[in-house]
Structure 1
Amino acid sequence: MTSPKGNSVKNDTSPDPLAAEDLPTTETSNDPPTGPVRRSARSKKVPANYEAGIIISGPKASLLTPSRSSRPKRKAADMAEKTIAANSDRILDEVIERMKPGEHKEWAGWVELESDPAFFNAMLHMLGAREFKINEVFGLDDELLDMLPNPVFGLVFLSQYTTEESLGEKRAGCPEDLWFANQTTANACATVALMNILMNTPDPRFGNEMQQFKDETNDALPPRRGHMLDTNDFIRGVHNSVARRLDLLSEDLILQSKYEDQHKSLQRNKRSMKGNKKTSKKASTTNKKPKKVDPDACNHYIAYVPLNGKVWELDGLEANPLCLGEHEEGNWLGRATEAIQTRMAVYENLTYNILALCQSPQVSLVDKLATNVACAQNLDTLFRLNPAWTLPSPFTIFTDPKLSEFNLTRAQVDSKPLPESFVAKTRGGDFSVEQAQRMMNELSLEQQSIETDYAEELANHDEAIAKIQGRQRDYTPLIHTWVRLLSQAGVLKGLIKSVG
């Protein structure tokens, strides 16, 4: 039979196995069809890879849904999910695993430090700068500043970072006698500020690593000093010693996120510039919004130091230091606090904190004790042959082992110069044994006071070390293992339900 359009149609008398259950029921007729036979334009080709590998033709084929494995994208996603599920426990175990001894030095980044005097004092101890101590400044009044241990070598001013324009500051080049390093990496500003003070202290006594760093950077330019500080494994390891592995990973993720945001911002700016080529310069400048201070901005440390009769502001993010002017002898803090108060007045909505790098009281106490024992030994030498002199020799009390507790030796005590006031009293012709005994009693009371203060300073130092050691302890692996055991025992669900 030929259709009106000339298409050849064959009579297929083979039974359709799906016809009885899928085709609608109609009245049967032996009459031939009166109209043209319509065929669907849909493809009769059946997709491969059906579930169970069955390929069915006919009307039923269009009702079947292909399996998830027949979709390449979905198949890749399934494989990724299975891979992540299989490796999640291993990855988590690696993340929360206890830090290895040298891992802080191997990590090339810097963690953000909080302004805690105990952390800074522990850092000074580990850096080998044990003659120094960080003290918190509770106010800029003269009475509060006088409470700081003397001498004060520098101030560390902490505030939230702002990208506002500088306050009309004119910065010249860095003088040769001033040690100043630029900050060349993120989160290192605390250590940069600390180094900008330590390296400018007169006649410092450092450990081997710090002394080597000072010798290597003395003749370098500020950017080079900053780079050498950034790549110094010893100093960076001390800075990161309070961090756990999760802190290091968090800093990596934050840095990656900042990079991606900056990259997207640059791409948007490029597209915007291409779309606005006809925009005049005048219009583009008038559309600029003023910069605002981000309330969640990160903290930034700035150092203030005296040097050769002048006060300097050392901001590692600036190319050069800022000279604040000359200061009166012994009153450089007044010039520095004036500049700090100016900053605080301009940025009223920011938070602040001030630390002072001072000489450790242990140094002055040891020096005071050596002078005391030298005076007592001088009195004992003057009246030892007098029958009325019954007091013991100071070296029977301050034996060599006892002196070593204060990092002193008998030779250091013998070479200690006597105060002029003491010499004036003892060299008089009317100086009697009774006066010498009263003076010895006063020196004995002073010795007891010095020993008490020294023991208190040692306790404060040990407390700072214990605090940073406690921060270094990571209980995350223990907690994770305990929670996993609870989950495997089926107890965790019950605990969650009882709390909920």
Structure 2
Amino acid sequence: MSDTGNWCLIESDPGVFTGLIKGIGVQGVQVEEIYSIDKETLEDLKPVHGLIFLFKWQGRDPASATNQAPIEYENPDVFFAQQVITNACATQAILSILLNSRTIELGEELSNFKAFVSDFPAEIKGHAISNSDVIRAVHNSFSRSDPFINEMNDPSSKEKEDLFHFIAYTPINGCLYELDGLQEGPRNHGPAPGDSWLEKVGPIIQERMARYEGGEIRFNLMAVVDDRIKVYQEKVAAYEEQLKALQEKEGPEAGAWLKGEIENLRGDIVKEEGKREKQARENKLRRHNFIPLIYEILKGLAQEDGRLEGLVEEGRTRAKAEAESAKQRKAAAAAAGGASEDVDMYE
């Protein structure tokens, strides 16, 4: 795998993924984080175009029920690109859902890209993604500004860093497909007509999670769904039509249930608008470099008579006091027959 184009790591965050989708010109869909794959949760999000699953990479899949699904090496109806770029798995998982959808409006940029690469083999599709200036630029626009070396990513560190990977699950031509750019091809998990794929994918994801030791909880699941504001607005319009017809027939006092539903949906629209404003603000903060601001603050404090030195000394004193307090709590726990390790977890 190459580092073509220097692709950055991006966060597993629905606001980031939604911003990335809009950045490449796709409208009408968004990404929602989901905490359960039960029927009720997924029913509320329909239509669901695909799921993006994040997990800790352990190398090639061991023998399991999941990877018994056959790999389809050549299927012209499935858009599959091998991942040839380091750090690009998030964007490739998103593209796997967008480019295999029959209902999402891709926009001019992505439509042209799909038409250009559709006949390429999987590896060449991966290289085409790596060489797309638009896709790479949008992906990298969500990198964090970090001028300091993070010891977790320090190549000289002897500690082995955990690697995480994104894959996609999506329905294609009545079958459930698993699209993982590190595999040789898409896995076909069998027939799943209509929305039945949402019921089929749950046990598959649970089986993947069950392979890990009990303490592993670092998983993330997100769904690519229709624009929620548009969904709510269409429901409001439909209910208002029903309410109008009912009141014309039975009088202005009729339709209390419909009035309540309309009010709830309008509340949902307000909440969604607030969530989007928050996500937009967070995405701006992700791109902003605060180091010059911090430098100027420290410089200003240093220029004031001994103020910075006093703050440093205050911090040292506080750290010593907290360390001494921790020792005392450990000693008290040991004297009482408790486990000092429990205290260490919170220090």
- TM-score, normalised by the number of residues in structure 1: 0.54
Classify 1:348/1:436 alpha carbon distance in 2 versus 1 (closer, same or farther; 3 Å).
same
Contact kept, 8 Å, 2:55 with 2:219, in 1: the verdict is yes
Matched residue, 1:133:
30
Classify 1:490/1:313 alpha carbon distance in 2 versus 1 (closer, same or farther; 3 Å).
same
Distance in 1, Cα, partners of 2:5 & 2:149:
14
Distance in 1, Cα, partners of 2:96 & 2:134:
17
Matched residue, 1:347:
212
Classify 1:224/1:295 alpha carbon distance in 2 versus 1 (closer, same or farther; 3 Å).
same
TM alignment of 1:234-253, pairs within 5 A: 234-246=134-146
TM alignment of 1:147-166, pairs within 5 A: 148-166=44-62
Matched residue, 2:184:
319
Q: Which amino acid aligns with 1:111?
A: C
Q: Which amino acid aligns with 1:161?
A: W
Equivalent of 1:361 in 191, 204, 228: 228
Distance in 2, Cα, partners of 1:209 & 1:462:
26
- What residue ranges of structure 1 are gaps of 5+ in the alignment? 1-106, 262-293, 380-425, 427-431
Residue range with higher mean Cα deviation, 488-497 or 302-311: 488-497
Matched residue, 2:330:
none
SS in 1 for 2:72: coil
Residue range with higher mean Cα deviation, 470-479 or 118-127: 118-127
Equivalent of 2:269 in 444, 454, 457: 454
TM alignment of 1:93-492, pairs within 5 A: 108-146=5-43, 148-167=44-63, 169=68, 170-246=70-146, 257=155, 296-348=161-213, 350=216, 351-372=218-239, 435=250, 437-438=252-253, 447-487=262-302, 491=306, 492=308
Distance in 2, Cα, partners of 1:433 & 1:357:
39
Classify 1:231/1:488 alpha carbon distance in 2 versus 1 (closer, same or farther; 3 Å).
farther
Classify 1:449/1:345 alpha carbon distance in 2 versus 1 (closer, same or farther; 3 Å).
closer
Classify 1:368/1:495 alpha carbon distance in 2 versus 1 (closer, same or farther; 3 Å).
closer
Matched residue, 2:334:
none
Structure 1 residues 216-272: Cα deviation after superposition (integer angstroms, max 9, x where no partner): 33333222222122222222222222324436x859x969x49xx9xxxxxxxxxxx
Q: Which amino acid aligns with 1:354?
A: L
Matched residue, 1:92:
none
Contact kept, 8 Å, 2:145 with 2:286, in 1: the verdict is no
1:123 to partner: Cα distance: 2.2
Q: Which amino acid aligns with 2:106?
A: F
Q: Which has the higher contact order (CA 8 A, sep 6+)?
A: 2
SS in 2 for 1:330: helix
Distance in 2, Cα, partners of 1:319 & 1:114:
26
Classify 1:484/1:355 alpha carbon distance in 2 versus 1 (closer, same or farther; 3 Å).
same
Contact kept, 8 Å, 1:121 with 1:133, in 2: the verdict is yes
1:166 to partner: Cα distance: 4.1
Contact kept, 8 Å, 1:121 with 1:464, in 2: the verdict is no
Tell me the percent identity. Answer: 28
- TM-score, normalised by the number of residues in structure 2: 0.75
Q: Which amino acid aligns with 2:190?
A: G
1:448 to partner: Cα distance: 4.1
User: Is the aligned partner of 1:496 residue 2:312?
Assistant: yes
Contact kept, 8 Å, 1:174 with 1:321, in 2: the verdict is no
1:363 to partner: Cα distance: 2.4
Q: CA RMSD in A?
A: 3.3
